[in-house]
């Protein structure tokens, strides 16, 4: 979870992840993960999520960078106190990886800022024998 520390412009990002076993093929080095993002405007002014930037790294050190407008086809406006939640996914060649990134935001007062997304882990569930 990360929060930008400005009273006017404060965006909290909370991430939960899950492994999609039914879409994964470990024998072919295909591991599919879903992540659900909850973006909460803790600031005092409305802000729009304009674009995203992700850095996805697998256990072999392979890095993918993803940039694009909005998230899941939307560029949501968040009033103070509002949140927006969405689920997306990624495919790795390893059973373990990390993601980190940022959302570029535009506040109603004309200020642009980045809401940082702290690194989080993508991992298949471990089983005990």
Q: Are the C-beta atoms of 71 and 19 separated by less than 8 Å? A: no
Q: Are the C-beta atoms of 40 and 14 separated by less than 8 Å? A: yes
User: Could you read off the pLDDT of 7-55 as tens digits, one per residue?
Assistant: 889 999 999 999 999 999 999 999 999 999 999 999 999 999 999 999 9
How far is it, in rounded angstroms, from Cα 67 to Cα 60? 22
Mean per-residue pLDDT over the chain, rounded:
93
Beta strand extents in the chain (DSSP E only): 2-3, 11-19, 31-41, 47-58, 63-69, 77-78, 83-92, 96-107, 112-123
Mean pLDDT confidence for 54-68: 97
Structure tokens at 39: 């973006």
User: Which domains does the chain possess?
Assistant: 2-123 (2.60.40.1470)
Q: Are the C-beta atoms of 91 and 25 separated by less than 8 Å? A: no
pTM of the model: 0.89
């Amino acid at each position: 979870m990360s929060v930008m520390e400005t009273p006017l412009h404060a965006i909290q990002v909370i991430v939960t992840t899950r492994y999609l076993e039914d879409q994964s093929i470990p024998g072919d080095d295909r591991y599919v993960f879903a992540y659900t993002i909850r973006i909460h405007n803790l600031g005092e002014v409305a802000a729009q999520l304009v674009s995203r930037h992700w850095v996805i790294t697998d256990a072999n050190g392979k890095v993918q960078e993803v940039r694009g407008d909005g998230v899941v086809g939307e560029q949501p406006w968040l009033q103070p106190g509002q949140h927006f939640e969405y689920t997306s996914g990624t495919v790795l060649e390893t059973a373990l990886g990390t993601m980190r990134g940022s959302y570029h935001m535009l506040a109603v007062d004309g200020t642009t800022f980045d809401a940082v997304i702290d690194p989080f882990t993508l991992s298949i569930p471990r089983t005990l024998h």
